[in-house]
Amino acid sequence: MNRALLLLSTAMLAGCSMAPKDVRPAAPVPPSWPTGDSYLRESEAGLPALNWRDVFRDARLQTLIAQALANNRDLRVAAANIAAARAQYQIQRGAQLPQVDANLGITERRGNGTNIGNGAIPGNGNTGGNTGGNVSGGGNVGGGLRTNYSTQLGITGFELDLFGRLASLTRAQQNSYFATEAGARATRLTLVGDIATAWLTYASDASLLEVAQQTAKSAEDSVRLTRARLEGGIAPRTDLRQAEQTLATAQNDVARQTAALAQDVNALRLLAGSEIDPALLPASIEQAAPSVAAVPAGLDSSILLRRPDVVQAEYQLRAANAQIGAARAALFPRISLTTVLGFASTALSSLFDGDAFTWQAGGNAAYSIFRGGAARANVRLTEAQQQAAVASYERAIQTAFRDVANALATRGTIDAQLRATQLQADAAADSYKLATARYRGGIDTFLQSLDAQRSLYTAQRQLVTVQLTAATNRVNLYRSLGGDSQLEATVQGPQAARGAGTPANPGG
């Protein structure tokens, strides 16, 4: 009865924890997105589940993203980091369980011819408090060989976790593991956004190359016409030189944009982690931009709690909280138990018989009387680290809120900017057409035609830039919101380690 009560009290003490209760700080951001002249009004609704296939609808871009998710080297590094963090968690968890060792030994000894009668030669050793056995025998050794067999099964290094020190360390390592997994999901989210941005950049550079080529062709016609007018005595040499300047500028842009396209392919190849099919590349920004859809409306700011970097910061906060419990428990004594069961005999056939069996059990309690205040200082250290983790968690939420707010600010005005730029480009094209006709009719000077051509070239390039900005804004909004359901579904690591009762979604 007394033994049962002792075991029950020991089990109850082993389940206690000195870690403070996990309390998530209130989100230091407004409950809804900003609204006003530069923001689109967003209705508040439940948290949606984003899906990159719903945002990036072009089949070619989807193929590139899937290729990158399978082959990107940064993701492979992240996967290795997850495996390492999982192993560290398992190592720490193993410290809570008894260590069981077994060994089998054989020893031969040559006698010196002494008659030892029927007495016993006891043998009892202790190596690290874990080994031992009795050696028995009798008779006249007579200078012959004496063989001793032994086997042992021992429980070593088992610490009674009365104050939850090992449990707190395990919980801290588990949350560090979850934080590593969340960081890997952030890498995936970034990769998807980078692939989409690089694909759109290629489309933009392809459009800029086409504009430069068209301008160069138009400039060649102007040079040819101006040279003919100069030779006919109608136009001055200055007109020819100005036309040649415009041609040289366009040719320079053609060469620069050609190099930019090659660099864009190199960037996509690096992100994808392998060679890419040229058929997956877009022909122009006009073709690529509409394929990037806007994220669904009706999002409130609590969706940011699903962002991978915010989830990572929360797990790091939980790990710091558990470290406080471990530091507090370290102020109390550590109690360790050892036991060993063994058999020893001079005859292999009688190894497991009768008196060959031996056993040994022991306990140890250790407590540091004086460490110069180091233990209490360690508690203060972990408390300070926990406060830093709280601030980091709040900063992660504030940063996420700022990213989304900036993306929404651009989204609220980019359509008006795009319409204005399109009107400007259309007007510049018509102006250039009229100026060229008036110059050829001898009504206007060549300078007016040349200015109209330059204005058209600038307007066309600006239109491409704004189209790229509008498309990448939708990519940035997707990336800022985070919480892609498909990216979360690809991560299975934490499910195997959530036996300690950690919720699957800390930010939900």
Q: Which one, of 182, 172, 405, 479, lies nearest residue 309 by Cα?
A: 182
Q: What amino acid occupies position 500?
A: A
Q: How far is CA 12 from CA 31, 162, 366, 434, in A?
A: 43, 8, 21, 92
Please report the pLDDT score of residue 482 as a whole number. 81
Are residues 207 and 286 in contact, defined by beta-carbon separation less than 8 angstroms? yes
Q: Please give the order of strands across the beta sheet that includes 99-110.
A: 99-110, 145-160, 334-345, 357-366
- Element holding 148 (H helix, E strand): strand 145-160
Cβ within 8 Å of residue 483, ≥6 positions away: 47, 48, 49, 50, 303, 306, 307
Q: What is the DSSP string of 335-391?
A: EEEEEEEEEEESSGGGTTSGGGEEEEEEEEEE--S-STTHHHHHHHHHHHHHHHHHH
In the chain, what is the straight-line distance between the N-terminal and C-terminal CA atoms, in Å? 47
Q: How far is CA 236 from CA 99, 216, 423, in A?
A: 98, 22, 34
Burial class of 97 by CB neighbour count within 10 A (0 to 12, 13 to 18, 19+): exposed
CA distance 80 to 73: 11
Residue 292 is classified by DSSP as B
CA distance 389 to 312: 11
pTM above 0.75, yes or no: no
Q: What angle is formed at CA 414 by the lines to CA 412 and CA 416, rounded to 5 degrees?
A: 95
Q: Which two tokens stand for residue 204?
A: 């933009």
Handedness of CA 360, 155, 167, 1 (dihedral sign): negative
Long-range contact pairs involving 455-458 (C-beta distance under 8 Å, separation at least 24): 455/428, 455/431, 456/215, 456/425, 456/428, 456/429, 456/431, 456/432, 457/211, 457/215, 457/250, 458/428
Q: How far is CA 40 from CA 123, 268, 408, in A?
A: 86, 32, 7
Q: What amino acid occupies position 52?
A: W
CA distance 464 to 432: 19
Please report the pLDDT score of residue 176 as a whole number. 79
Are residues 267 and 195 in contact, defined by beta-carbon separation less than 8 angstroms? no
If phi over 0 gives left and psi between -120 and 50 gives alpha, with beta otherwise, what is residue 113? left
Are residues 113 and 143 in contact, defined by beta-carbon separation less than 8 angstroms? yes
Q: Which two tokens stand for residue 20?
A: 């403070």
Residue for token pair 């060549």: 446
Residue 19 is classified by DSSP as S
CA distance 24 to 501: 17
Three-state DSSP class for residue 204? helix
Q: How far is CA 419 from CA 409, 415, 461, 475, in A?
A: 17, 6, 15, 20
CA distance 327 to 416: 58
Q: Which two tokens stand for residue 421?
A: 């730029």
CA distance 109 to 347: 14
CA distance 10 to 445: 101
Q: Which two tokens stand for residue 149?
A: 């067999």
Three-state DSSP class for residue 115? strand
Residues in the chain: 508
Residue for token pair 């719903």: 54
pLDDT in tens, the chain (508 residues): 444 444 444 444 444 555 565 555 655 555 443 433 333 223 223 444 578 888 899 999 999 999 998 898 887 887 787 788 777 777 767 666 666 677 777 777 775 544 444 433 344 333 333 333 343 344 444 456 777 767 766 666 666 656 667 677 777 778 778 888 877 888 888 899 999 999 999 999 999 999 999 999 988 988 888 888 788 887 788 888 888 888 999 999 999 999 999 999 999 999 999 999 999 999 999 999 999 988 766 666 666 777 788 877 888 878 777 767 666 655 556 556 666 666 666 655 565 565 666 666 665 656 566 566 676 777 777 777 777 777 878 787 788 888 888 888 888 889 999 999 999 999 999 998 998 888 777 787 778 888 888 999 999 999 999 999 999 999 998 888 886 766 655 544 334 444 433 333 333 3
Count the neighbouring beta carbons within 10 Å of the beta carbon of residue 411.
Answer: 19
Structural domains of the chain in order of their starting residue, each with its CATH number: 13-96+161-332+380-500 (1.20.1600.10), 104-160+338-366 (no CATH)
3-state SS record for 23-64: CCCCCCCCCCCCCECCECCCCCCCCCCECHHHHECCHHHHHH
Three-state DSSP class for residue 147? strand
